[in-house]
A and B are shown apart, each in its own frame.
Chain A
């Protein structure tokens, strides 16, 4: 069974750094694109970007390029989403998402339950 287990909720202050995680199991972690989707309070979903754990090839949505860093450690089947300096506007639920195999990366076939990030002074 494919599972994506995300790290727990975080409460941070503006300017702080943060790294949240997503551990994949039940499939070959290195062979599927894995990425992140943001949902701000009361809003829709926004695709942030993806990484291919096999070679760390990364693609970002233009909206998130330079704002966050997506990484992965294939030795422990874990993907990460990182901020160097959080803003209040980063307050959102962040979903980890396994994308389709190979050229079918544009669909998300498994999702995590989400990590709530709250940024407040």
Chain B
């Protein structure tokens, strides 16, 4: 079982918004603002989409946004596009210099 809990799947139609959750504990997500989100198209290298809960690296569309409340972080993809279909993983810094990931969410654009 992964350290962070994500729903296995999510879906939405083009143009809609989808939110993916990532639930941890007070030893990781709840205690640190160091949550990142990664997009992974199978066969390609994963890509950093969000870091420090809500910051976007240069080049990432502002359709991608992140937030956190308590032990749960969220990634929202607005204005869904076909190319957003991918696996999404969250990660968080955890106590004692550890890094933990979620189990991943397969996003389907209907």
CB-nearest residue of chain A to B97:
A59
- Name the contact of A47 in the complex, choosing from B52, B96, B101 (C-beta under 8 A): B101
Interface size of B by CB at 8 A reads: 27
Q: Give chain A's interface secondary structure class.
A: strand
Q: In the assembly, what is the distance between CA of A107 and CA of B43, in Å? A: 21
Chain A contacts for B34, CB-based, 8 A: 106-107
- Name the contact of A44 in the complex, choosing from B47, B48, B89 (C-beta under 8 A): B89
Q: Is A44 a contact partner of B2 (Cβ separation < 8 A)?
A: yes
**A96-121 toward B: CB 8 Å interface, digit per residue (1/0)?**
00001000101111111110000000
Q: Quick one: which of A59-112 are within 8 Å of B by CB?
A: 59, 61-62, 95, 100, 104, 106-112
Chain A contacts for B64, CB-based, 8 A: none
- Is B12 positioned at the interface, with any CB of A under 8 Å from its CB? no
Q: Is B47 a contact partner of A111 (Cβ separation < 8 A)?
A: yes
Chain A contacts for B92, CB-based, 8 A: 106
Q: Is A112 a contact partner of B48 (Cβ separation < 8 A)?
A: no
- Name the contact of B99 in the complex, choosing from A44, A106, A109, A113 (C-beta under 8 A): A106
Distance from B20 Cβ to chain A, minimum over Cβ atoms (Å): 13
With most chain B CB atoms within 10 A of its CB, the pick from A104, A106, A109 is A106
CB-nearest residue of chain B to A43:
B103
Q: Is A107 a contact partner of B101 (Cβ separation < 8 A)?
A: no
With most chain A CB atoms within 10 A of its CB, the pick from B46, B48, B104 is B46
**B71-110 toward A: CB 8 Å interface, digit per residue (1/0)?**
0000000000000000001011100111111111000000
Would you mind naming 8 contact pairs between A and B with Cβ atoms under 8 Å apart?
A45-B38, A46-B101, A61-B98, A104-B51, A106-B91, A108-B48, A109-B57, A113-B44
Residues of A that sit less than 8 Å from B by CB? 4, 37, 43-47, 59, 61-62, 95, 100, 104, 106-114
Residues of B that sit less than 8 Å from A by CB? 2, 6, 34, 36, 38, 43-48, 51-52, 57, 89, 91-93, 96-104
- Besides A37-B101, A95-B46, A106-B34, 13 other CB < 8 A contacts? A45-B101, A47-B100, A47-B101, A62-B98, A95-B45, A100-B51, A106-B99, A107-B91, A109-B51, A110-B45, A110-B48, A111-B38, A112-B45
